[in-house]
C-alpha cells in the first residue's frame, strides 16, 4: 500500500512555531551574553569597578591572544580537559559497578549504604591533602574528580535500577533466568535514560573536582593558572582561565548530549 503522508497544515504550522521558538531562544541567549559583556565593559570604562581588580572584556581578548599564541593556554586547557574525561570515565565505570553490586546483593547494599551516605555528605575538599599524600601531585587530581562524582553516580544509577518494573524480572525468574541474564537483558538496557542523566550531571561535577584538585596540588591545568594568576595579581590571566573553563564545560556538555542522542536512538531501535 502507498504510504499516507500524515502531515497536515496544522502540523506544519506547529513545526514552524517550534523552529521559530528555538531561534528566538538562541537569539535571547546571545543577547543576554552581549548585554552582560557590554555592561562589564562600560562599568570598567566609567570606573564603577576597578579594571585592575575585575578586568574587562577588551582586556580579556588581548590577554587571550597573548596566552594563546605566545603562552601555554591551550596546553593547560588540554590537560584539564583530559583529566575531566578520564575522571568521568572512572566515575561512571566505578559508580555503575557499585550500583550493580548493590542490586545484585541486598546484603552488600544494606551493609554499605551508611558509608555511601557519609561519603556523600563529607566535604570532598577535605580529602585533597590525603589524595596528595597517597597519589602524588599528578594523580591526586583524578582522586578529587572521582571522589566528587562517583557517589552521585552510585546513587543515581541505583535509583534507576529500583525504578525498573519488577514484573519483567519476575517473569524472567519464572523461566529460570540467572541474575546475569536479567542484568544484561533487562536492567542495563532499561537504565539507559538514567545513565544518560548521570553522565550529564557528572560533566559538571567532575570538572569541579578536577579544578579543585588543580587548586590544591597540580602544576598544570586551568585551575593551576587561576591560582597562579591570583598569586601574582594578574586578574586577566584568572579571567581568561575562567572563560576557558566555561567554554570547556560547554564543549563537554555538548559531547554528552551527542552521546545521549546516539544512546537514545540505539535504545529505542533495540527496544
Q: Mean pLDDT over residues 22-44, rounded?
A: 86
pLDDT at 121 over 70: yes
pLDDT at 193: 79
Q: How far apart are CA 90 and CA 3, in angstroms?
A: 48
Arithmetic mean of pLDDT over the chain: 81
Would you place residue 7 in the very low, low, confident or very high pLDDT band (cuts 50, 70, 90)? low
Domain boundaries, the chain: 1-46, 57-270
* Mean predicted confidence (pLDDT) in 76-100: 90
DSSP H or E stretch at residue 202: helix 192-216
Q: Give the C-alpha separation, 186 to 196, whole Å.
A: 17
Provide the pLDDT confidence category of residue 90 given band limits of 50, 70 and 90.
very high
Stretch 246-266: mean pLDDT, rounded? 81
Residue 137 is predicted with a pLDDT of 76
Write out pLDDT tens, residues 135-175: 887 788 888 888 888 888 888 888 888 777 666 667 776 77
Q: 197: pLDDT confidence band, cut at 50, 70 and 90?
A: confident
Give residue 269's pLDDT.
Answer: 55
- pLDDT in the model for residue 94: 92
Report d(CA 239, CA 216) in Å as an integer: 19
The stretch 185-214 carries a mean pLDDT of 84
For a pLDDT cut of 90, what percent of the chain falls above it? 3
Q: What CATH number is given for 57-270 in this structure?
A: 1.10.3720.10
pLDDT band at residue 3 under the 50/70/90 scheme? very low
State yes or no: pLDDT of 37 exceeds 70: yes
Neighbouring C-beta atoms of residue 129, cutoff 10 Å? 12
Tell me the three cell numbers of residue 175: 523461566
Q: What is the pLDDT of residues 43-67, one digit of tens each?
A: 878 878 777 777 778 777 777 877 7
Amino acid at each position: 500500500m502507498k504510504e499516507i503522508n500524515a502531515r497536515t497544515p496544522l502540523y506544519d504550522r506547529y513545526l514552524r512555531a517550534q523552529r521559530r521558538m528555538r531561534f528566538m531562544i538562541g537569539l535571547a541567549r546571545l543577547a543576554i551574553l552581549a548585554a552582560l559583556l557590554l555592561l562589564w565593559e562600560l562599568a570598567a570604562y566609567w570606573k564603577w569597578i576597578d579594571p585592575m581588580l575585575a578586568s574587562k572584556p577588551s582586556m580579556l581578548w588581548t590577554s587571550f591572544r597573548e596566552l594563546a599564541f605566545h603562552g601555554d593556554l591551550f596546553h593547560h586547557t588540554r590537560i584539564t580537559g583530559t583529566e575531566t574525561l578520564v575522571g568521568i570515565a572512572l566515575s561512571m565505570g566505578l559508580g555503575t559497578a557499585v550500583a550493580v553490586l548493590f542490586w545484585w546483593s541486598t546484603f552488600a547494599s544494606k551493609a554499605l549504604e551508611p558509608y555511601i551516605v557519609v561519603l556523600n555528605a563529607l566535604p570532598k575538599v577535605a580529602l585533597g591533602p590525603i589524595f596528595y599524600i597517597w597519589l602524588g601531585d599528578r594523580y591526586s587530581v583524578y582522586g578529587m574528580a572521582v571522589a566528587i562524582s562517583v557517589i552521585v553516580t552510585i546513587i543515581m544509577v541505583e535509583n534507576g535500577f529500583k525504578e525498573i518494573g519488577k514484573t519483567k524480572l519476575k517473569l524472567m525468574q519464572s523461566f529460570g533466568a540467572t541474575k546475569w541474564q536479567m542484568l544484561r537483558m533487562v536492567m542495563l538496557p532499561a537504565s539507559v535514560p538514567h545513565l544518560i542523566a548521570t553522565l550529564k550531571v557528572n560533566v559538571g561535577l567532575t570538572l569541579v573536582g578536577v579544578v579543585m584538585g588543580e587548586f590544591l596540588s597540580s602544576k598544570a591545568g586551568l585551575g593551576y593558572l587561576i591560582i597562579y594568576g591570583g598569586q601574582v595579581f594578574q586578574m586577566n590571566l584568572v579571567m581568561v582561565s575562567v572563560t576557558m573553563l566555561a567554554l570547556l564545560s560547554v564543549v563537554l556538555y555538548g559531547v554528552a548530549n551527542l552521546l545521549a542522542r546516539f544512546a537514545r536512538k540505539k535504545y529505542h531501535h533495540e527496544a
